[in-house]
A and B are shown apart, each in its own frame.
Chain A
Amino acid sequence: MLNIRNLQAGIEGRKILKGINLEIKAGEVHAIMGPNGSGKSTLASTLAGKKSYEVLGGSVDFLGKDLLELSPEARAAEGLFLAFQYPIEIPGLSTTNFIKTAVNEVRKYHGKDPLDAVGFLRMMKEKMALMNIEQSLLSRPLNEGFSGGEKKRNEIFQMAMLEPKLAILDETDSGLDIDAIRIVSNGVNKLRNKDNAVLVVTHYQRLLDYIVPDFVHVLYNGRIVKSGTKELALELEERGYDFIKNEVNVEEGV
């Protein structure tokens, strides 16, 4: 589904990703872990096409297309979803209106007619039931005045509505208490199936208790320095990132 080869990227002339290689297949859950500043969020933002991030080399194939050639909205329409670490507020724009616009823009991209009000509402009710989300949240202006938990639930609700092929969860657990993490993770798990994939980007292991990954990769200093299964995450939790740093530094002769 997603094939990243030697991806290098940076911001404001500073190179942050120094050659990422990663392959994700349909039905898989991958986790990318790493200490602060290792490039986790840069990877998520670069894949989603944020303008301030500059690709300096490498390639990304997404469902047979050159992802890096696509505009951010085309990436989204092709099925790439980014759950933001800090969801953006848009005052005055109701969450419902925002999601309806997004759903119909994506349909338009695929040559489908827009959903009418009735069709959209039906879909929304269905997903609301699935995601346990209340109407009042969706009537409020997008993310404005939302608590941390509400923002993240809203992200996952949008994911449910847009039905992406690949969902990237960027530090979705940051700022959440354990109950909120459980609610958000349940949402993600309900959306998993054999045709889609999830890439969890996180600093801590605790989210991975709920969204259990098939593969865990450790990102350090712009490179994936270690890959393994979920046991790797537990090891990191126990030993901290220092042992990885030491290993890498020894290998690189620092």
Chain B
Amino acid sequence: MNPEVYKESQIDVDEGLSTIEKTVLTDYKYGFVSKFDADEAPKGLSEDIVRFISARKNEPEWMLEWRLKAYKQWCRMADDEPTWANLKYPPINYQNIIYYSAPKQKMNPKSLDEIDPELRRTFEKLGISMNEQKRLTGVAVDAVIDSISIGTSFKEQLGELGIIFCSMSEAIQEHPELIKKYLSSVVPTTDNYFAALNAAVFSDGSFCYIPKGVRCPMELSTYFRINAENTGQFERTLIVADEGSYVSYLEGCTAPMRDENQLHAAVVELIAMDNAEIKYSTVQNWYPGDKNGVGGIYNFVTKRGICQGVNSKISWTQVETGSAITWKYPSVILKGDNSTGEFYSVAVTNNHQQADTGTKMHHLGKNTKSRIVSKGISAGFSNNSYRGLVHVGKKASNARNFSQCDSLLLGDKCGAHTFPYIEVRNKTALVEHEATTSKIGEDQIFYCNQRGIDTETAVALIVNGFAKEVMNQLPMEFAVEAQKLLAISLEGSVG
């Protein structure tokens, strides 16, 4: 590899932040930029960059081949960048993005004490501390900054149960047989434009394997943060729950405030074997852009799980308040007989945000069940779309689906859209879909006012009530944070 293509840069904490941004910083409390040395690739994407990333990570040859194949596929898909979603944004210049940025530090810290103090302060601001205090709450954390996994806590304790929870880079080195077997088995590299891009350039992510019969005793969690300028973040998560196991996984994301749009194109793959259950919860709070729609993250994410085994279950819960653009459809392939898929979603859009999100439930096995609860809240000038597919295959006898999609509009400059697709090929299926659109009633606000509650708090209460069925699915610590986020996201939207 060519040593010239690699450069070091120092990111200054205040650089590029205008006064206005600083004043609105209060709106988005995660909008700080951390100051630490980063190890970056030059801008742009080419075969060399793919090789560069693979080399930086000391990947084996098979992994490089896998990436190069994906890269070539992506090049061939140039005309396939999705245009069907209800989203408007200028063309993305893929040559103006830095595809690799790693905080420059020892790649494998022996203990958490070795982590860059600035990085540790970043985590503290994010509310993640990798110390004893956090240990008491029983959440094992993997943190990914820009594209690199920084450290995983609780490893030993999990190891005793045979649970593997580590960064994807480490998994490629330490557990190649598992990675070879499962990587891209649910989301093929050719699945879609962004999935192909991710496969070519993903730099890290989390890997988790729960062995047969093990019930993971704590929540596993990954925090993602985009920090460096002009960087894209392309992480990849793979979770395998072997027969009879259970795991609950949490994912949180934040990013600094920047004028330009940053690209996030992640892939998440879940595999549940016989009688296994995976619960995957996301609180997505990428920077949404400012009040005028300047800046913000473009969030193009492919999340898919397969209920491979009988009686298995995959449940997605998401609270989406961030990103300028959200394109995301966490899906479940219900292959095993008697398997269950669930999707619970709250998506809030304000100002100029746009979200096109929903799910796909593919019923293939017999007696498969799925449930979809989607709550969309639109405010400001935003557009919020639910797009969902329920497909019942010819062999999926006695499939059952129930979908409920509700939209709440705050103001008359925003839009709420519902695009459900229902495809039924088996007469024994029962599929039910319901959707409603409404606004917050004046009388509801007045009732709260009359009890001494101001309008802003009243809106937060009403919106949280509207979203409750989904919030109830979140683990406790997450639910509290998510409720606050909803309130913050909608501040000033009703006046």
Contacts and interface: CB of A to CB of B under 8 A. Distances in A.
Contact of A72 (B449, B465, B469): B449
A82 to B, nearest CB: 5
A71 B465 contact: no
A142 B447 CA distance: 11
Nearest to B462: A90
Which one of B444, B455, B461, B465 has the greatest number of beta carbons of chain A within 10 Å?
A: B465
B453 interface: yes
Given A51-B442, A51-B446, A84-B447, A101 B453 contact: yes
Contacts of B108: none
Contacts of A139: none
A51 B445 CA distance: 10
B447 A71 contact: no
A50 interface: yes
B457 interface: yes
Contacts of B82: none
Interface in B437-495: 441-444, 446-455, 457, 461-462, 464-469
A136 interface: no
A93 B464 contact: yes
Interface in A39-84: 48-52, 71-73, 75-77, 81-82, 84
Which one of A50, A92, A98, A109 has the greatest number of beta carbons of chain B within 10 Å?
A: A92
B442 A90 contact: no
A59 B457 CA distance: 29
A141 B465 CA distance: 8
A88 B451 contact: no
A71 B449 contact: yes
A48 B447 CA distance: 10
A105 B468 contact: no
B468 A93 contact: yes
Contacts, number: 83
B452 A91 contact: no
A158 interface: yes
Nearest to A99: B451
Contact of A105 (B447, B454, B464): B454
Contacts of A50: 446
A88 B466 contact: no
Interface in B394-424: none
A106 interface: yes
A137 interface: no
Contacts of A93: 461-462, 464-465, 468
A92 B450 contact: no
Interface in B180-212: none
A76 B464 contact: no
B453 A102 contact: yes
A97 interface: yes
A71 B468 CA distance: 29
Given A50-B446, A84-B447, A88-B444, A73 B454 contact: yes
A88 B445 CA distance: 9
A87 interface: yes
B463 to A, nearest CB: 9
B465 A73 contact: no
Contact of B452 (A51, A77, A88, A92): A77
15 contacts: A49-B450, A71-B449, A71-B454, A73-B448, A73-B454, A75-B450, A76-B452, A84-B450, A88-B446, A93-B464, A97-B461, A98-B461, A105-B454, A142-B465, A158-B451
Given A76-B451, A93-B461, A162-B451, 5 more contacts: A48-B446, A84-B450, A101-B461, A109-B452, A142-B465
Interface of B: 441-444, 446-455, 457, 461-462, 464-469
The 7 closest A-B pairs by CB, nearest first: A92-B465, A93-B465, A92-B468, A72-B449, A102-B451, A76-B452, A88-B447
